[in-house]
Structures are given as structure tokens and as C-alpha cells.
């Protein structure tokens, strides 16, 4: 994930928080969050970056610069081999119901953990 936009989308997805909910939590409009995600807004104030990081429980350095750990770490993922088949089936169900615009982001996330 190379941009603030990509990291913000990822954190929202992982935390299961909507743009509107995040906007309410940090005191901005949903449009302001949408503009960040869609790269319409080129700037992110330090104050809002810290508020977003706190609301999403992520490292602000990760959010802004891509350094450090994001909201999901390798140790957070359970790779229990005993349940691998049911986990795959659950993942297939989840992906089949996901809106198409989120699929690209999911693929990027999954590719990060291929070598775990």
C-alpha cells in the first residue's frame, strides 16, 4: 500500500468502520473522508491524521508514511491447519458477497500474507 488513500481504505475495511462513522468520530464531513480515499484532497492535516489513526486504532506513522505495522499483523492471523477447509469456504462466501470495488483491495491485502 503506497498511498494514504490505500492505507485508509484498508484500515476502514479491517476495522469494519464506514466513512460516515469515521467522519463522525473525528468531527469532519463524510465528504472529507471520501475526498481522502478518492485522492481528491491532496492534504491531510497532522491533527486529522492523528484523529483518524486514533479512531481506527492504527499507528499514525503507518497511516501517513506507510512505516510500521498496519491494523492487521501476521500474529493476528490464525493459520490453524485443522480448520483450513472451513476457513477457505468462509472466505469464498465473504468474497462472493463483496462489492466489486473492494475486491482489488482484498487481493492486495491477501498478497501481503502469502509468505507468512
Q: How far, in Å, CA of 87 to CA of 79, rounded?
A: 9
Which residues are CB-neighbours of 48 under 8 A, at least 6 positions away? Answer: 26, 28
pTM: predicted TM-score of the whole model, two decimal places: 0.62
Give residue 116's pLDDT band: very low, low, confident or very high (50, 70, 90).
Answer: very low
Q: What would the grid cell of residue 76 be?
A: 493476528
Name which of 10, 7, 45, 13 is nearest 28 in CA terms. 45
pLDDT for the residue numbered 35: 92
Give residue 9's pLDDT band: very low, low, confident or very high (50, 70, 90).
Answer: very high
pLDDT at 1 > cutoff 80:
no
pLDDT digits (tens, 9 = 90+) for 33-92: 999 998 887 778 899 999 999 999 999 999 999 988 888 644 454 544 445 556 667 777
Which residues are CB-neighbours of 50 under 8 A, at least 6 positions away? Answer: 60
Helix H, strand E, coil C: the string for 81-106 is HHHHHHHHHHHHHHHHCCCHHHHHHH
Amino acid at each position: 500500500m503506497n498511498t494514504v488513500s490505500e492505507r485508509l481504505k484498508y484500515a476502514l475495511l479491517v476495522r469494519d468502520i464506514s466513512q460516515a462513522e469515521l467522519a463522525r468520530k473525528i468531527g469532519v464531513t463524510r465528504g472529507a473522508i471520501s475526498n481522502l480515499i478518492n485522492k481528491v484532497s491532496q492534504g491531510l492535516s497532522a491533527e486529522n491524521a492523528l484523529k483518524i489513526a486514533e479512531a481506527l486504532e492504527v499507528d499514525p506513522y503507518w497511516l501517513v508514511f506507510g512505516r510500521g505495522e498496519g491494523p492487521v499483523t501476521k500474529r493476528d492471523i490464525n493459520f490453524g491447519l485443522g480448520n483450513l477447509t472451513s476457513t477457505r469456504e468462509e472466505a469464498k462466501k465473504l468474497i462472493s458477497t463483496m462489492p466489486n470495488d473492494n475486491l482489488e483491495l482484498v487481493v492486495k491485502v491477501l498478497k501481503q500474507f502469502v509468505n507468512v
